[in-house]
Homo-oligomer: A and B are copies of this chain.
Amino acid sequence: MLKETAEKALLLGQPKTREGHVATYIPELGKVDPSGLGICIFTKDGEKIRVGDTDTRFSIQSISKIISLAIALEAYGKNKVFENVGMEPSGDAFNSLLKLENADGTPYNPLINAGALVISSYMVQMYTFEEVLENVRRLCMDPDIVLDIKVCHSEMSNLSRNRAIAYLLESKGVLHADVEKTLNFYVKMCSLSVTAESLANLGLVLAGGGIHPVTGERLLKEETVRIVKTIMLTCGMYDGSGEFAVRVGIPSKSGVGGGIISVVDGELGIGIYGPSLDEKGNSIAGIAMLEYISKEMGFHMFGQRKN
């Protein structure tokens, strides 16, 4: 039944792609086909559902923020990571400087750009980008994840706003490494090329509390995974996170590359590709598909499972 639901979701999602727009503030992202759409669901029982464009490579963008958060938590521990970044939804756009300016400079959470930059400043102190890339491949069970050089260059050439955020963080004393090095790492992480399948794999790892679904190997600590899922729930869909939690109720993280990763806790991981975005930066068809599937299957965290 899950497969039919996914198929129906795709049919329902496809016309939606015409209602949104691909991201254009990074010129390279503006070149992708807005009609692309795919969904991948991997369950703990080994079922692998692939519908639509599930092997198209696309830019991971902000979804990398949960991976960086997970790796930083593993490396530094909860207390250290949350010294200079909060856990609160901000109520503002992901790239806002307002809250930084009003308060002590501590970003509200690790999934807004400012927070992700603080996390990045931890990462560059401990790891090379290549080491992190290797880790990402392992977590997503996808050895083909690479840096998309074109996206990376395009983003480096349009970095004024993130640069402003990073220098503001430095001036507030909450950045732990060189600004340009931090920005470089941040942009590289955003420029990784993944597929809906890579995201479904990672989603399944998170659903399983950090354990590899096939080998049974522990890839992430239980606490790390619990924190990541909670912050995905409260902050994962930009300033539409609250409404998404009410309507869909599945911890998720989106990126302006069109990807969404979702975690039905204890059960399955979902990866979505749909680069046509709504005005908040979330995949417009992706959200519609998730809302449909959540309703049909009873996947809302506070709903009743159907089968």
A interface list, Cβ under 8 A from B: 86-92, 96-99, 101-102, 108-109, 160-161, 163-168, 170-171, 179, 209, 222, 225-227, 229-231, 233-235, 239-243, 245-246, 249, 251, 265, 300-304
Cβ distance A12 to chain B, nearest Cβ, rounded Å: 20
> What is the bound-complex CA distance between A241 and B301, given in angstroms?
17
Q: Is the CB of B249 within 8 A of A226?
A: yes
Smallest Cβ-Cβ distance to A99: which chain B residue: B91
> Given A96-B101, A98-B101, A265-B302, do A87 and B243 touch, yes or no (CB 8 Å)?
yes
Cβ distance A1 to chain B, nearest Cβ, rounded Å: 21
Q: Is the CB of A246 within 8 A of B222?
A: no
Binding site secondary structure of chain A: helix
> What is the bound-complex CA distance between A171 and B161, given in angstroms?
5
A222 CB contacts on chain B under 8 angstroms: 303-304
Q: Is the CB of B99 within 8 A of A101?
A: no
Q: Is the CB of A168 within 8 A of B161?
A: yes
Q: Is the CB of B242 within 8 A of A231?
A: yes
Cβ distance A225 to chain B, nearest Cβ, rounded Å: 7
Q: Which one of A102, A234, A241, A251 has the highest number of Cβ atoms from chain B below 10 Å of its Cβ?
A: A234
Picked from B89, B165, B243, the residue with its CB within 8 Å of the CB of A242 is B89
Q: Is the CB of A86 within 8 A of B168?
A: no
Picked from B90, B227, B245, the residue with its CB within 8 Å of the CB of A230 is B245
Q: Which one of A166, A234, A246 has the highest number of Cβ atoms from chain B below 10 Å of its Cβ?
A: A246
> What is the bound-complex CA distance between A101 and B92, given in angstroms?
12
> What is the bound-complex CA distance between A218 and B77, given in angstroms?
45
Q: Is the CB of A227 within 8 A of B242?
A: no
Cβ distance A268 to chain B, nearest Cβ, rounded Å: 14
Q: Is the CB of A242 within 8 A of B234?
A: yes
Cβ distance A263 to chain B, nearest Cβ, rounded Å: 9
> Given A226-B302, A246-B231, do A241 and B88 touch, yes or no (CB 8 Å)?
yes
> What is the bound-complex CA distance between A98 and B87, given in angstroms?
21
Q: Is the CB of B91 within 8 A of A108?
A: yes
In the complex, the 10 A-B pairs of residues with the closest C-beta atoms, listed nearest first:
A91-B91, A160-B171, A89-B89, A88-B242, A164-B167, A164-B168, A161-B171, A160-B170, A163-B167, A90-B91
Smallest Cβ-Cβ distance to A223: which chain B residue: B303
Cβ distance A222 to chain B, nearest Cβ, rounded Å: 7
Q: Is the CB of A251 within 8 A of B160?
A: no
A304 CB contacts on chain B under 8 angstroms: 209, 222
